[in-house]
Amino acid sequence: MSDRMTRAEVERSLIALGSSLEYPPAPPIAPAVTARLLAERAAARRPAFPGLALWPRRRILLLAVAGLILLLAGTAVAARLAIGAIEIRVIPTPPASTPTGVESGASLGRRVTLEEAQAMVDFPVVLPEALGPPVEVHVAESVFSSRVVVLVWEADASHPRIEGTSWSTILMELPGSKEPLASKEIMAEITLQAVQVGSHDAFWISGPHQLSLLTPEGEQRFTVTGNVLLWEQDGTTLRLETALPKAEAVGLAESIG
């Protein structure tokens, strides 16, 4: 039996642990824990979690205990997970920053044709076969000279409208990156599950949360009202937002070539 676990297995273990443990009130140890973590990262003694590829099984217990300490301490970020260029932050209190609004219109980026979008990025622009051509295509500037492609579809009988938007489906496509180009901040009570999209590890988020895109002009924040699937496929980070339930959303995602 192998003594190593993949990053996805570690993440699933931590999510399951956090939802099953019962614990008493903890003393205010957050400042000390946070200061130590920041000092170790500044000294390059602690690698960033998303960059870890494989962990020995004997270190899983230590990682789980560290995650539990952060949870009990009520730190600003109780857990950090990542899929490709998108980081997920599970937080105990609502974000302090105010979102600019929902994902719509010019906020999605410059409107272009599908062919123009493909010419502007160095990763393949993909489409869900179950939906057909999008009604709009946008390209947004991101940090590190990267661009984000945003495809949107109108609602119909099979694909209900995402609350607060004009669309039934929003598909964001980002280049694979070791540095986050976007992040999500979700409250601990919001559903976060490790799932599979075909053979790809993915996360399912169900419930209102915030999305932040890192642009050359600064951070752009949106309120997300739909359900979201996050996964990485052939080096591209994909974010599918829909009003569909999980099983149907996964089926839609799996129709992407």
Condensed to tens digits (0 to 9), the pLDDT of residues 140-160 reads 999 888 999 999 999 999 999
209, 153: one domain = yes
Rounded Cα distance, 50 and 85, in Å: 10
Q: Is residue 200 part of a domain?
A: yes
Structure tokens at 110: 């410059």
65 is a domain residue: yes
The predicted-structure confidence for 190-230, as pLDDT tens digits, reads as follows: 999 999 999 999 999 999 998 988 888 888 888 899 999 99
* Three-class SS state of 102: coil
Report pTM.
Answer: 0.68
Residues 6+ apart with CB under 8 A from 241: 103, 162, 169, 170, 171, 172, 224, 226, 227, 228
Query: Does residue 93 fall inside a structural domain?
Result: no
> What does the pLDDT read at residue 193?
95
User: Minimum mean pLDDT among 24-33, 38-47, 243-252: which range?
Assistant: 24-33
246 shares a domain with 126: yes
Q: Which domain holds residue 40?
A: 4-75
91 in any annotated domain = no
In a domain, 98, yes or no: no
Whether the per-residue pLDDT at 61 is higher than 50: the answer is: no
pLDDT (0 to 100) of residue 74? 40
Has residue 12 been placed in a domain?
yes
Tell me if 52 is assigned to some domain: yes
Q: Copy the structure tokens of residue 3.
A: 């003594």
Count structural domains, the chain.
2
* Same domain assignment for residues 138 and 218: yes
Name the least confident of 59-63, 138-142, 143-147, 178-182: 59-63
Amino acid at 180: P
Kindly state whether residues 117 and 166 are assigned to the same domain: yes
Same domain for 156 and 230, yes or no, is yes
Are 53 and 164 within one domain? no
Does 89 fall in a domain? no
Q: What is the pLDDT of residues 79-121, one digit of tens each?
A: 668 899 999 988 888 777 666 665 555 678 899 999 999 999 9
- Integer angstrom CA distances of residue 167 from 140, 153, 162, 183, 253: 18, 6, 6, 21, 16
Residue 9 and residue 201: Cα distance in Å, rounded? 9
Q: Are 140 and 180 members of one domain? A: yes
Whether 124 and 248 map to the same domain: the answer is yes
Residues 120 and 241 in one domain: yes
Q: Average pLDDT, stretch 156-171? A: 93
